[in-house]
Amino acid sequence: MSARFDFRIHARDGLARTGEIAMQRGTIRTPAFMPVGTAATVKGLRPAEVRATGADIILGNTYHLMLRPGAERIARLGGLHKFMGWERPILTDSGGYQVMSLSALTKRSEDGVAFASHLDGSRHMLSPERSIEIQRLLGSDIIMAFDELIALPASREAMAAAMQRSMRWAARSRAAFDSAPDHAGLAALFGIQQGGLDERLRAESASLLRGIGFDGYAIGGLAVGEGQEAMFGVLDYATGQLPEEAPRYLMGVGKPDDIVGAVLRGVDMFDCVLPTRSGRNGQAFTHDGPINLRNARFAEDEQPLDSDCHCPSCTGGVSRAYIHHLVKSGEMLGAMLMTEHNISFYQQLMQGLRSAISQSRLQAFAAEFLRRYKAREAS
């Protein structure tokens, strides 16, 4: 590891690890949850409010930012950090997932993916080289290799073909990243393991990625409809296929119980739109499970969202009844308070996991968290 990206594991408990990633714009404590700032904003919160929740790093999106306002424009305005007022590390995903999921018209080839914008139908081409260029223009601290994602379930032949193309694209992403030494000297590049639900394909992918060499390794192609049991089944072997000395990032995950299970299996980094999207739609995450504030039963509930949460709403006297009123009235403050609470809840969970690993009590922490979190679901 170099001074620009220094990952150090401080403690282990079973397969789980806790440590830190030191980068030029700050230190990232692991296990880490990255709030999603798709279009240069974590929806509903100012950057200082995101930081106050405990977030060390956020995620931006190549696809959305290339279409609006444009990577070149952001570069002219001083880069993504200055543009959005976030001074700490930013990870940008490659745009591949959004190309596949949002564009009605796509054409895949060895060169990349030609697609129509979901905004105005304009035609674009996203290749490994262009994806890396966009992320460099944004000034990303952690850049993701460009890969090909397919929905599950899929045939082994389809999973193998997508994995093998993704590995060829990973090598091209590495070359494109290294071709700009000024940025590469400050940033990090992560490769993405693919292979669907097939252990042999994932082993082959991991071997090829290790041969190319990356600062960190993501586990891709999950959280696409396969369900928690199947996802955990992959994680039971996938983390062990990746380098021990590098961080492991499970992309697009997830629910609090997903995160706990993944940390138990050795994952270090996570991102998901769930806490922000749920907050905008009236759902709050609590230690006693998720609750829907649209429900009439909260209309006169004077409790905070979660009596064990340390967010400004829960400690500042904001009641479930008030948030119910805001949500039902369509007031934007309701979405803002809910989003701040949800991201705070996720960050408090990550801090609890880090502390438990450091104290060699992760199994007990996880069991108690899951017992309480799932109690309402079981009743």
Q: Which of 168, 4, 139, 121 is nearest to 62 (CA)?
A: 139
Q: What is the pLDDT of residue 321?
A: 98
Q: 224-249 burial string, b = 16+ CB within 10 Å, else e?
A: bebeeeebeebbeebbebbeeebbbb
Close Cβ partners of 337 (under 8 Å, ≥ 6 residues apart): 313, 318, 323, 326
State the average pLDDT for the chain: 96
Catalytic residues: 93, 271
Given a cut of 60, whether residue 23 has pLDDT beyond it is yes
Close Cβ partners of 135 (under 8 Å, ≥ 6 residues apart): 62, 92, 94, 143, 144
379 pLDDT band, cuts 50/70/90, is: very low
85: phi then psi, degrees, rounded to nearest 5: 75, 30
DSSP per residue, 175-222: HHHHT-HHHHTT-EEEEEE--TT-HHHHHHHHHHHHHH--SEEEE-S-
In this structure, the number of other CB atoms found within 10 A of the CB of residue 342 comes to: 29
Q: What is the pLDDT of residue 253?
A: 96
Rounded CA separation 81/125 (Å): 25
What is the token pair recorded at 297?
């039963």
Q: Which residues pair with 9 in a beta bridge?
A: 19
Rounded CA separation 233/213 (Å): 26
Rounded CA separation 193/237 (Å): 12
Per-residue CA distances from 239 to 34, 170, 315, 346 (Å): 19, 19, 38, 22
62 pLDDT band, cuts 50/70/90, is: very high
Per-residue CA distances from 312 to 37, 88, 128, 258, 342 (Å): 21, 22, 42, 26, 11
What is the token pair recorded at 31?
């296990």
- Residue that wins the pLDDT comparison between 318 and 96: 318
List, for residues 222-245, the tens digit of each pLDDT value. 988 899 999 999 999 999 999 999
- Residues 5-33 have a mean pLDDT of 98
Q: Can the peptide bond before residue 54 be classed as cis, meaning omega within 30 degrees of 0?
A: no
Amino acid at the residue 24: Q
109: phi then psi, degrees, rounded to nearest 5: -150, 175
Q: Name the pairing type of β-strands 216-219 and 248-250.
A: parallel
Q: Which of 164, 214, 166, 219 is nearest to 189 (CA)?
A: 214
List, for residues 92-109, the tens digit of each pLDDT value. 999 988 877 776 678 899
Given a cut of 60, whether residue 342 has pLDDT beyond it is yes
Given a cut of 80, whether residue 48 has pLDDT beyond it is yes
Given a cut of 50, whether residue 251 has pLDDT beyond it is yes
Q: Which of 325, 278, 286 is nearest to 44 (CA)?
A: 278
In this structure, the number of other CB atoms found within 10 A of the CB of residue 34 comes to: 23
Edge-to-edge strand list for the sheet holding 248-250: 32-35, 269-272, 248-250, 216-219, 188-193, 142-144, 90-93, 58-61
Rounded CA separation 242/62 (Å): 25
- Residue that wins the pLDDT comparison between 151 and 296: 296
Question: Based on C-alpha coordinates, what's the Rg of the chain?
Answer: 20
Q: What is the pLDDT of residue 120?
A: 92
Edge-to-edge strand list for the sheet holding 106-108: 106-108, 113-116, 123-126
CA trace torsion 158, 159, 161, 167 (10° rounding): 160
pTM equals: 0.97
List, for residues 127-177, the tens digit of each pLDDT value. 999 999 999 999 999 999 999 988 888 899 999 999 999 999 999 999 999
- Residues 275-299 have a mean pLDDT of 98
Q: For each of the domains in the chain, give its residue range(s) and CATH number, in order of start.
A: 5-271 (3.20.20.105), 280-378 (no CATH)
Given a cut of 60, whether residue 63 has pLDDT beyond it is yes
Q: What is the pLDDT of residue 1?
A: 45
In this structure, the number of other CB atoms found within 10 A of the CB of residue 119 comes to: 10
Amino acid at the residue 170: A
